[in-house]
Amino acid sequence: MSGLARASEPAVDSDLHGWLQRLSELMSWEFGVGGTTLTVGAVSGALLSLVLIVLLGLWIRSRVNRYADTREFSRRASLYTVGKLAFYLMIVVAVLISLAVLGIPISRFAVVAGALGVGLGFGLQAIFNNFVSGLILLFDRALKVGDFVELQSGIHGEVKDINIRATRIRTNDDVDILVPNSEFVSGRVTNWTYSDESRRMKLDFGVAYGVDKELVRTAGLEAAAAVPFTLSMDGPRAPTVRLMGFGDSSLNFELVVWVDSVATRHPSRALAAYFWALDDALRKHGIEIPFPQRDIRVRSLFGLQGEGALQALATPRHGATPADAGDAQDDSDAGKVPTTSTQETPEKQ
């Protein structure tokens, strides 16, 4: 048995040596591309280096993002920028190392750079503009991941990701919208959480004339205290109730309240909560909300005026048709046209 084992070992070594020799010949096979001689081994090494370095960059970015998720908002945005720039740097390093493995000098790409410059002046201008705008957003830090923004086009939501071409915004309806980076640089953007995540909200409401104003103030402050979005009930950011004017049928008030970050990112939800609480507080204190009512006063009808017109309007006409009523009106007074006057008076709800 030992003799057979020793006899098989040279056969295995011979097969392995043959495979390695054929692989070496394959890797040494040369071919030309644009006047440059390359080998299969060099191309394989360049591709392997490129893939490994890109994978390393992705791993570094994922680790940085995972670490950022455990930190506060301001540091999380900074760490996101660091991870994004590190990934871009790793891509540049991967390309340079791959070119070095292939033995291609950077000067060979001078013509390519010239052609790329011409292309930027035509079809690639928008893409290059968005790329540069994305870098500006990362370095300028006027817009960070996690900010709640509103664009000039009316789109509003939370910034989830700043990519090379576009920025991903997630609305309160959980819809992701891709906005070109150039729109953030050249357009008007409202960043609701740029320096402070709290904001001030104003709610207009009206009450009937004759209601005690101090009672209205008390109801408004009770409504603000009942909503959990209220930032503080004391200090310079405490809620206030203001008398803003005298309307046609109501005293116009305004509830001004500072809200927290949750209400800043969900303004519709906050408005609904405050109006709900305000209605409950007004009902609790017996404060009525007026609405306009229209009274119609008849001056003349069917050629009659005053009490005669009212009696004619109230008297039923059996068997009369709309055409008969029209004929009767024409016969009674063809030259007169019924006139009415209207007057709006407030009615309490």
Tokens describing residue 297? 């006063």
- Return the closest-CA partner of residue 61 out of 163, 132, 144: 163
Query: How many Å apart are CA 135 and CA 128, to the nearest integer?
Result: 11
Domains of the chain (ranges, CATH numbers): 142-191 (2.30.30.60), 199-288 (3.30.70.100), 295-348 (no CATH)
In degrees and rounded to multiples of 5, residue 161 shows phi and psi of -160, 140
- Give the rounded percent of residues in the chain with a pLDDT score beyond 70: 65
Q: How many CA atoms lie within 13 A of 162 on its CB side?
A: 34
Residue 349: is its pLDDT beyond 50? no
What is the spatial distance between Cα 257 and Cα 240, in angstroms, rounded to a whole number? 7
Position with higher pLDDT, 280 vs 39: 280
Q: Are 203 and 257 in contact (CB under 8 A)?
A: yes
Distance spanning both ends of the chain, measured CA to CA:
109
pLDDT digits (tens, 9 = 90+) for 41-63: 777 777 888 888 888 888 887 88
**Percent of residues, the chain, with pLDDT higher than 90:** 21
Place of tokens 């004759």: 210
Residue 46: predicted pLDDT? 78
Q: b/e for 41-75, b at 16 or more Cβ within 10 A?
A: bbbebbeebbeebbeebeebbeebbeebeeeeeee
Mean pLDDT lowest for which of 91-95, 275-279, 300-304? 300-304
3-state SS, 77-137, equals: HHHHHHHHHHHHHHHHHHHHHHHHHHCCCHHHHHHHHHHHHHHHCCCCHHHHHHHHHHHHH
| Six token digits for residue 69 | 């998720």
pLDDT category at 5 given cuts 50, 70, 90 is very low
Reported confidence tier of residue 285, pLDDT bands at 50, 70, 90: very high
Pairing of strands 148-151, 36-39: unpaired
Q: Which two tokens stand for residue 92?
A: 């540049």
Q: Which residues pair with 176 in a beta bridge?
A: 170
Count of CB atoms situated within 10 Å of the CB of 116: 12
- Confidence class for position 203, pLDDT limits 50, 70, 90: very high
| pLDDT value of position 182 | 87
Instruction: Give the three-state DSSP class for 144.
Output: coil
Mean pLDDT, residues 325-346: 45
pLDDT of residue 284: 93
Q: Mean per-residue pLDDT for 17-46?
A: 66
pLDDT of residue 186: 85
165 pLDDT above the threshold of 60 = yes
How far apart are the C-alpha atoms of 221 and 171, rounded to whole Å? 31
- Residue 180 makes CB contacts below 8 A (sequence gap 6+) with 126, 130, 133, 165, 166, 167
pLDDT band at residue 225 under the 50/70/90 scheme: very high
Residue 123 confidence class, pLDDT cut points 50, 70, 90: low
User: Taking 60 as the threshold, does the pLDDT of residue 279 lie above it?
Assistant: yes
- Least confident segment among 244-248, 258-262, 341-345: 341-345
User: CA nearest 94: which of 60, 49, 128, 32?
Assistant: 49
More confident residue, 80 or 247: 247
The backbone region for 238, taken as left when phi is positive above 0, alpha when psi lies in -120 to 50, beta otherwise, is beta
Q: What is the rounded distance in angstroms from the CA atom of residue 189 to the CA atom of residue 150?
A: 6
Which pTM value belongs to this model?
0.57
Stronger pLDDT, 87 or 80, i.e. the higher one: 87
Q: Rounded to an integer, what distance in angstroms lies between the CA atom of residue 238 and that of residue 109?
A: 64
